[in-house]
Amino acid sequence: MDTRTLHGVVHGMTIVLSDDPGVPPGQPVEVVVKLLPAPSTRWGEGLRRCVGSMADQWTEEDDRILEEIYRQRKRSISTELPG
């Protein structure tokens, strides 16, 4: 018996796999669903993941700069909304 760990995303009754399972159509399989933690929604987290090659160079100053940009954008949006 061959066992593999694959990842996917649930859409209703369908699980879309991130990789080809390498199983012929019609082959019976057993599926065990293990919930994974939700991706972080902390502002700037996507950028942190994208700069993985620079992760060892990322500093608290970089975090401070991103936070300041976020605050400036938030202020800019709130001042543009009609009162």
Domain residues of the chain, as ranges? 45-80
> Is the pLDDT score of 12 beyond 70?
yes
pLDDT one-digit tens code per residue, 22-77:
999 999 999 899 988 876 667 777 776 676 667 778 889 988 998 999 888 887 76
Instruction: Tell me how far CA of residue 80 lies from CA of 2, 35, 77, in angstroms.
Output: 58, 41, 5
d(CA 32, CA 27): 16
Nearest alpha carbon to residue 22 among 33, 6, 8, 34: 6
The confidence score (pLDDT) of residue 26 equals 94
Q: What is the pTM of this model?
A: 0.42
CB 71 within 8 A of CB 63: no
Other CB atoms within a 10 A radius of the CB of residue 71 amount to 11
